[in-house]
Structure 1
């Protein structure tokens, strides 16, 4: 009998969670497929990007909505530090409401869009907004759906490049899982000055091992009912904490309340949310300075004795792996595997259907109900 994360695949199917379970589990395979695809696309990508990232005047905007926006937030500082150009993460939902604050009509601009389906109204509207306001802007679309509107509308545009993820990464389940990690790793690989798709093979091997090692303890942790889950992270891992918190909120249909914050910022008010039904999970940074600050907070939370549990994910943590000395942004997909598994189990514990927790259609896999307004009408 085949099992996934301590549960038979037939059981996942019966409770409406098999798609999500499989999509979490197959991420190492997706990363290997992505590495091969990026290698094949390397020359075309190099021709499209040229030496533009070396231009200090170039503005690179990493954009998306929801989970896709967090992809940009995790990687923005890593890419910005590697190039003379100016790199910033700005969600589509912010670009559309305040374009004058974020777009410079005279500045050369590369809009990097992250999109699982490529069909959300904000994704399409953000691209059109930049086309309208920034003459000569260029567009790198990192998407999982070749048939989505984002990919289709750019096919014949010489100022656009569609970088497609492995087809199976276009998650069937409600929550973004393999789509998230594939898009994150693709952007890191192609925007890295040394173009390093081979790192994906190393990461995939670590993920294979981690999924096996973590399956039992994650399932045991998720069997303990809590009403609140707080994820913490420093630097790029603060955005990872946001994504991990969103996964719990989505897959439990809001039944478990979540919060995300930085290790140092948590004391400045948000710590008040901790009660006896709270699980605190901190993503440990690879940076030695950050780890000192994180350890101080961990010691404090454990001395307080208020939270139901205080655990860590990352090198040397409660959920750990023997990783290379890589930056936090590169390791983020590995640590996210634990959070995805935990959210999946929490959904099952609450007797929800993980593949679609919102059976009433209040929240949808592709956002609905958005009216797009033209920027020049006001």
Structure 2
């Protein structure tokens, strides 16, 4: 068997088999998640319709990678459900619950978790129930045996359980991240999930293009460059993708590559100073023409000041007059009708692949890249204090 154009025996010997399989399996996983939500749509609709009769606020939460899902989803969810929606990590909720929970405001807490067993995830749902008179819970998780999946809320709750293959075995979250992200985006149109079949087919196609031999070769070549800094930029929902890419490359290289993320407009306000001749600069381009104007302006502005080692962009539309070293265009340059937030699901494959290949280039084992044990699959050593 081969995964990502590498033999299984080679990947196993390099400590990369699980990560490679989980990255490669995502387009198939996305199809499975879509079909599962279509089957469960009536039950899900009943729950969300009931909650929306009373909820005045939606909080999207998770820790680390799971928290970044909310940053990609909050805009679409607020726009489509008509309820104020904010993304707040569990790591904020646990230390400062009084700043986010309002007792008199009925709230839907949407929790994202691969294992559902991290201390902050479990503490957050308990704190929500103690600080809010009426708190509903929607849990999107990959582990039916996890604490979140089994949590007994005081109000109505619903668990969206992803297929077993979403429960990554490697340290880095890959399929679990994109799978939970897709589920959340689809639930923004919960009354008619099946209507999104064409969009899901399109992002599956984009994902397969990123996993194709030619693009894999390009990404592997980038990973072999001599950079020790990387910056990822994204606008709107793709800002969440930039955040997750930052974490993915940094954790898979055990911190040997120090990463940063920002929005295109935000990058001008000081953070641009991080760029030097050993920096890889990655642009996630929007397919929204109005947004793209701001993104192109930033790229043009990179001609002033220190130049990065390499600039690479990912887009689903051709972009005229763009000064980047490498532009990966998915969809064969056709007119793109995919809603912007769905691009987050497939674009993250670039960040995952870059992290995997850079990890291998540095002689690390991507399945467990932390040589000191400083990071682990489920966070360790967190003490929850009772208030």
Give the TM-score taking structure 1 as reference length.
Answer: 0.94
Q: Secondary structure at the match of 2:381?
A: coil
Bigger Cα displacement from structure 2, 294-303 vs 69-78: 294-303
- TM-superposed CA distance for 1:70, in Å, is 0.3
| Among candidates 146, 163, 167, match of residue 164 of structure 2 | 167
Q: Secondary structure at the match of 1:152?
A: coil
- TM-superposed CA distance for 1:102, in Å, is 0.8
| Among candidates 328, 348, 353, match of residue 336 of structure 1 | 348
Bigger Cα displacement from structure 2, 322-331 vs 228-237: 322-331
User: What residue is the counterpart of 2:312 in the other structure?
Assistant: 311
Cα root mean square deviation, aligned: 1.7
Bigger Cα displacement from structure 2, 346-355 vs 127-136: 127-136
- TM-superposed CA distance for 1:144, in Å, is 0.2
Q: Secondary structure at the match of 2:282?
A: strand
Bigger Cα displacement from structure 2, 315-324 vs 360-369: 315-324
Q: What are the within-5 Å matches in structure 2 for residues 135-174 of structure 1?
A: 135-154=133-152, 159-174=156-171
- TM-superposed CA distance for 1:52, in Å, is 3.6
Gaps of 5+ in 1: none
User: What residue is the counterpart of 2:26 in the other structure?
Assistant: 27
Deviations 1:166-202 (A, max 9, x none): 1111100100100000101101111225533523233
How many residues get paired?
A: 372
| Among candidates 117, 121, 124, match of residue 123 of structure 1 | 121
Runs ≥4 residues deviating over 6 A: none
Distance 1:193 1:38 in 2: 9
- TM-superposed CA distance for 1:51, in Å, is 4.9
Conservation of the 8 A alpha-carbon contact between 1:52 and 1:58: no
- TM-superposed CA distance for 1:16, in Å, is 0.3
- TM-superposed CA distance for 1:84, in Å, is 2.1
Q: What are the within-5 Å matches in structure 2 for residues 179-258 of structure 1?
A: 179-192=176-189, 194-197=191-194, 198=197, 199-212=199-212, 213-258=214-259
Q: Secondary structure at the match of 2:193?
A: coil
Distance 2:124 2:190 in 1: 27
Q: Secondary structure at the match of 1:195?
A: helix
Q: Secondary structure at the match of 1:249?
A: helix
Distance 1:54 1:309 in 2: 51
Give the TM-score taking structure 2 as reference length.
Answer: 0.92
Deviations 1:259-290 (A, max 9, x none): 00111111111111111110100100122122
User: What residue is the counterpart of 1:40 in the other structure?
Assistant: 39
Distance 1:134 1:362 in 2: 35
Bigger Cα displacement from structure 2, 42-51 vs 106-115: 42-51
User: What residue is the counterpart of 1:18 in the other structure?
Assistant: 17
Q: Secondary structure at the match of 1:225?
A: coil
Q: Secondary structure at the match of 1:367?
A: coil
- TM-superposed CA distance for 1:223, in Å, is 1.4
- TM-superposed CA distance for 1:61, in Å, is 0.6
| Among candidates 342, 366, 373, match of residue 378 of structure 2 | 366
Distance 2:306 2:386 in 1: 52
* Residue 325, structure 1, aligned to residue 334, structure 2: no
